[in-house]
Amino acid sequence: MAEPYLYLAPAVALLVVWTYRPLVQAAQLSTYSWNLLPTTPMVPVGTDNYRRLLELPAVGDSVWRTVVLIVGLLPFTLVLPVVVGFATRGVHGRARAIYQSLIFAPFLVAPVASAAVWQWLLDPGAGIVNRVLGSDTNWIHEPATAQWVILAITGWHFMGFAVLVVSAGMAGISGDYAEAAQVDGATRRQIDWWITLPLLSPTLVFLGLMTVLLSTQWTFPLIDTLTQGGPSQATTNIYYLLWDYGFHSFDAGLSAAAGIMLFAGFGLVAGVLVWISERISFHDD
Amino acid sequence: MTTSESAVPEPLWRRARGHVVLVAIALVCAFPIYWLLATSLRRPDDVGSLSPVPWPLSLGNYVDATEKVDVIRLLANTFAVSGVSAAGQLLVALLASYAFAMYSFRFQRLLYLAFVGTWLVPFQVTMLPNYVLLYQMGLINNLVGVIVPTLCSALGVLMLRQHMAGFPKELVAAAKLDGRSSWSILWTVVVPNLRPALAALSILLFINAWNEYFWPAVVLQRSNAVVQLGLRSFMGTEGNDWGPMMAVAGLACLPVFVLYVVLQRHIVNAFVRSGLK
């Protein structure tokens, strides 16, 4: 029976050519020294690229900045959406639909347009933020604030999505449990904490995965258009560093080695999150 | 919609608090978008104004922008790239999800995992080998090179497979008894019944393709053939021309916002559901 394979053929072929072949090639490339020019030969260097990665302080710094970014995004993608979800259960109908459409809108703004409008809002002289605050901080180009700007824009982008995912998750929880607990004399707070929240855990694990796997990648266009990794590397996270090694320093081997380490790290984080979710998730069925 | 509400009724003050929280968050979320549009619609001399309502309205910034970049060509290119990319992803995903939902075959689970696994491979890992391959194919600085690597959407396969799994098998079995081929069943039985899901997915794919930045930036390099890159060319570090820049940013968002205003509920549902597996 060849039929299912025929239907799958185009998708699998594309998957192999554009995802798994390059993954394997990146693994190979990571053991070579090469400057991306077709005319220069690739020199095999064994594990040198990995050794350099571990020794370069820039790599450790950028990984640390990525971790800070992920942790900094959790309030936007997990904490606030859950708080908002609980605080707004009583709001229904047309009003809710209007609020939701406004809250979701930033998720649809193109990243470069987001970067453009935030650059305008935060302009040191003419921007509305400084004129309202009466300050002259150059938010985007000062090392102390640049990373926070990237974090705030990314949080602004993803929060509406997370709020809607949480409220959809809460809407999907059967009221029978709360009702039964109420009959048993549980307070509202106890119901929220011991019934609703655990039943929401699959949604929360999903949002956690999204934060780790997607939202930090979304910072790339912001960084590329606003700061180019600066000032003094303050916004260079691991994604931007990979790009920088590949297309600015033309160090293909180093970039590929960093990419493979990133892939391994991702696999580990995703595996741990899925494992945790299987241990702690309470399924509503 | 929410059964939990009926179990634990909400007192008035809780509802009022809910409204306050939502209004505050909605204002914070919507303000930058409003400011983008408001700035772009001011007269070029008023761009720095802080008045909340842009008045008198003017299209001067848009006219200035068209003098600096070929806005029409950028939008047309972006439409073409996003449209072809979304249509291609839809077709490829439709065929693949049909195989997953309607058959059981060897390596099914493994192949399915291969699709799910793409979430773990960041773009930045595959960019160098893909760049080299496109270079060898002569597709660098070519719009085709932007489209081709995006054509397999794991998200699309996963979403459609789920919709098809809930599809009444009796209909398919009946069509099979009529002696119809699986190809004709796909197009005459499955697709017509899947129209809402296909529409939602195609909008989602189009919006994602329209907003894509990373891959066009790699393939098109310093040429600015799509609107996201055209907007980037306005963003110098010093002395920005804010009016035209906001005008181009507005145009870069316009098609997506038009879709959003017309199809608001469907778009929200499509995105949120894509998140709920």
Domain boundaries, chain B: 11-63, 70-233
Reported ipTM: the value is 0.86
Cβ within 8 Å, pair B29-A159: yes
Residue B85 sits at φ, ψ, to 5 deg, of -60, -45
Q: In this predicted structure, what is the pLDDT of residue A8?
A: 92
Identify all chain A residues contacting B268, using CB atoms and an 8 Å cutoff: 100-101, 104, 164
Distance CA A39, CA A202 (A): 51
Cβ within 8 Å, pair A243-B124: yes
To probe the interface with A, which of B124, B164, B245 has the most A CB atoms within 10 Å?
A: B124
Q: In this predicted structure, what is the pLDDT of residue B8?
A: 52
**Arithmetic mean of pLDDT, A119-125:** 89
SS3 content of chain A, % helix, strand, coil (to 5): 75, 0, 20
What sections of chain B are H helices per DSSP?
3-7, 12-40, 60-68, 71-102, 108-116, 123-136, 143-147, 154-165, 169-177, 182-185, 191-193, 195-211, 214-220, 227-232, 242-262, 264-275
Angle between helices B60-68 and B12-40 (to 10 degrees): 60
Distance CA A128, CA A16 (A): 49
Is the per-residue pLDDT at A160 higher than 90?
no
A-B Cβ pairs (cutoff 8 Å, strict)? 322
Which residue among B50, B132, B149 places its CB closest to the CB of A128?
B50
Q: Which of residues 200-229 of A touch B (CB under 8 A)?
A: 203, 206-207, 210, 213, 217, 220-221, 224-226
Q: Is residue A41 part of a domain?
A: no
Block means of pLDDT (10 residues each) for chain B, 277 residues, are: 49 84 91 94 86 86 88 92 95 94 89 88 86 90 91 90 85 87 90 88 91 89 83 74 90 91 82 65
Distance CA A260, CA A50 (A): 10
Q: Is residue A274 part of a domain?
A: yes
Cβ within 8 Å, pair A11-B152: yes
Identify the residue with better confidence: B147 or A188.
Answer: B147
Q: In this predicted structure, what is the pLDDT of residue B143?
A: 92
- Name the residue with tokens 């055209």: B230
Q: In this predicted structure, what is the pLDDT of residue B3?
A: 42
Question: Torsion angle, CA of A114/B276/A271/A254, rounded to 10 degrees?
Answer: -30
Q: In this predicted structure, what is the pLDDT of residue A231?
A: 85
Cβ within 8 Å, pair B35-A128: yes
Task: Please give the sequence-ordered ranges of beta strands (E in DSSP) within A88-188, or none if there are none.
Answer: none
Is the per-residue pLDDT at A29 higher than 90?
no
Q: In this predicted structure, what is the pLDDT of residue A282?
A: 59
Query: Which residues contact residue B198 at a Cβ distance below 8 angstroms, ignoring those fewer than 6 apart?
Result: B90, B94, B160, B191
- For A81, B89, B93, B122, B159, the CA distances from B105, given in Å and listed in that order, are 41, 23, 18, 29, 20
Is the per-residue pLDDT at A237 higher than 70?
yes
Cβ within 8 Å, pair A104-B271: yes
Q: Is residue A36 part of a domain?
A: no
Q: Predicted confidence band at A186 (pLDDT cuts at 50, 70, 90)?
A: confident
- For A186, A252, B205, B224, the CA distances from B220, given in Å and listed in that order, are 61, 19, 21, 7
On whether the CB atoms of residues A119 and A179 are closer than 8 A, the answer is no
Identify all chain B residues contacting A242, using CB atoms and an 8 Å cutoff: 124-125, 127
For the entire predicted model, the pTM comes to: 0.88
- Which tokens hold the place of B180? 């119809």
- For A97, A158, B124, B205, the CA distances from B201, given in Å and listed in that order, are 21, 20, 25, 6
- Which tokens hold the place of B34? 């409003």
Q: What CATH class has B70-233?
A: mainly alpha
Distance CA A162, CA A203 (A): 10
- Name the residue with tokens 């970067």: A115
Distance CA B69, CA A16 (A): 38
Sign of the CA dihedral with A265 first, then A247, A210, and A237 last: positive
> How many folded domains does chain A comprise?
1
Q: In this predicted structure, what is the pLDDT of residue A252?
A: 86
Q: Is residue A13 part of a domain?
A: no
| CA of A4 vs chain B CAs: smallest distance (Å) | 5
A134: left (phi over 0), alpha (psi -120 to 50) or beta: left
| CA of A63 vs chain B CAs: smallest distance (Å) | 15
Q: Which of residues 70-99 of A touch B (CB under 8 A)?
A: 84, 87-92, 95-99
The range of the structural domain enclosing residue A79 comes to: 58-280
Give the DSSP H or E segment for A71.
helix A57-74
| CA of A64 vs chain B CAs: smallest distance (Å) | 18
Q: Environment class of residue A38 by beta-carbon count within 10 Å: exposed (0-12), middle (13-18) or buried (19+)?
A: exposed
- Which tokens hold the place of B171? 């209909």
Q: Which of residues 148-167 of A touch B (CB under 8 A)?
A: 156, 159-161, 163-165
Q: What is the CATH number of the domain that holds A209?
A: 1.10.3720.10
Q: Is residue A202 part of a domain?
A: yes
Q: Predicted confidence band at A242 (pLDDT cuts at 50, 70, 90)?
A: confident
Is the per-residue pLDDT at A10 higher than 90?
yes
Distance CA B53, CA A77 (A): 32
Long-range contacts of B262-267 (CB under 8 A, 24+ apart): B263/B203, B264/A97, B264/A101, B265/A97, B266/B199, B266/B200, B266/B203, B267/A108, B267/B200, B267/B203, B267/B204, B267/B207
To probe the interface with A, which of B125, B240, B269 has the most A CB atoms within 10 Å?
A: B125
- Which tokens hold the place of B135? 């270079």
Is the per-residue pLDDT at A154 higher than 90?
yes
Distance CA A110, CA B27 (A): 19
On whether the CB atoms of residues A257 and A188 are closer than 8 A, the answer is no
**Number of other CB atoms surrounding residue B246 within 10 Å:** 29
Q: In this predicted structure, what is the pLDDT of residue B237?
A: 54
CB contact A250 to B (< 8 Å):
no
Which residue among A11, A213, A260 places its CB closest to the CB of B157?
A11
Name the nearest CA neighbour of B97 among B167, B5, B7.
B167
Q: What is the pLDDT of residues A56-95, one digit of tens each?
A: 888 888 889 999 999 999 999 999 999 888 888 878 888 8
Cβ within 8 Å, pair B127-A243: yes
To probe the interface with B, which of A33, A53, A99 has the most B CB atoms within 10 Å?
A: A99
- Which tokens hold the place of A184? 């048993």
CB contact A129 to B (< 8 Å):
no
Q: Annotate B111-145 with DSSP letters as a single string.
A: HHHHHHGGGGS-HHHHHHHHHHHHHHTT-TTSHHH
